[in-house]
Amino acid sequence: MSSVDCVIVWVDGSDKEWIKIKNQYSFNVVKESEDDEAERYRDYGTLKYLFRGIEKFMPWINNIYFVTCGQTPEWLNTDNPRLKLVNHTDYIPQKYLPTFSSHPIEMNLHRIDGLSENFVYFQDDMFVLKNTVKEDFFKNELPCDTAVFNAIAMEKMDKEFRFLMPINNIEIINKYFRKKESIRKHWRKYFSFKYGKDMLRTICLWPWIHFTGFYNYHYPYSLTKGVLRELWEKEPEVLDETCSHRFRNSNDVNIWLASYWQYASGKFYPRSPKIGHLTCISDDERENNAVYEHIKKQRSKMIVINDTIKNGNFEEIKENLVESFEEILPDKCSFEK
């Protein structure tokens, strides 16, 4: 099997120069977006544990492509030959820059020079907790993933794009794929016992004529550059509009679209959702303690930790998170000075 790289995207939200530039563009824009909320850019001091986890638990990874707007953590060993520093200006078309939205950053990843055809995409709140094998992410050159149907709920939310993005994504899928035909061709992948009880979602939504949506597990993404290239070929206007928004917008599509395309086209291999765990750090101390225990006991191969703190003690939570990761990843890796 060919080599697999991984991509990590990161921003230092405390960088005064970055904040100054962001503020210049955010006037009259952030009301439509959550990109100005503090929790999107808070630094928990956990990025180094993502690097440690990849080196220790994903030794089969070839190179790490670290994507930023030119920022570099002071502890990062930039001399490591397996570390490839990528500036937004290196691969995102100039007309979309500067950007403060993750969508242009994600939807242009296939343009990164030297990146392997098959790659694993990490956001900076995604971590690896125990040993993995390449076949957890790619098998027979196909991305491994969990394709489970979902019904998109039209919830009332302050930030409307939260529910509009999945609709925008699935609209494109229904434009190019006929649900019954996809199921007929790839029924073993849609109805895989690997999905466990989650397959009940697919069974319940099976009768609908069109795709109603897919469940988003939000684990590190197994992707191919070919799918991103195909999306740009099929929908250049949609992707151009998305990338032209410097902040997230309700008309956007996002990286979920690439996963959905892989599902509908059958270009994936079924994987159990139990490989990862999606959780939140919040104002609820009991829930936070459950997150710390999950990390310490390494209850899944991967964990994603969303930040939903509004009134909680950020510094205390940050300290507890770092202590939890230190228990399983106490040693510096080659990506640290």
pLDDT of 40 over the 90 cut: no
pLDDT of 120 over the 70 cut: yes
Top pLDDT among 162 and 215 is at: 215
The predicted model gives 138-148 an average pLDDT of 97
- Does residue 104 contact residue 96 with C-beta atoms inside 8 Å? yes
Prior bond to 93 cis, omega within 30? Answer: no
For the segment 64-116, what is each residue's pLDDT rounded down to a tens digit? 999 999 999 999 999 999 999 999 999 999 999 999 999 999 999 999 999 99
Share of the chain above pLDDT 90, in %: 80
pLDDT band at 152 (very low <50, low <70, confident <90, very high): confident
For the segment 256-315, what is each residue's pLDDT rounded down to a tens digit? 999 999 999 999 999 999 999 999 998 989 999 999 999 999 999 999 999 888 887 888
- Residue 59 to residues 63, 95, 326, 331: CA-CA distances in angstroms? 10, 37, 19, 15
Which two three-digit tokens encode residue 140? Answer: 């027979």
Which two three-digit tokens encode residue 317? Answer: 């939570």
For the segment 201-240, what is each residue's pLDDT rounded down to a tens digit? 999 999 999 999 999 999 999 999 999 999 999 999 999 9
pLDDT of 34 over the 80 cut: no
pLDDT of 117 over the 70 cut: yes
The predicted model gives 137-150 an average pLDDT of 97
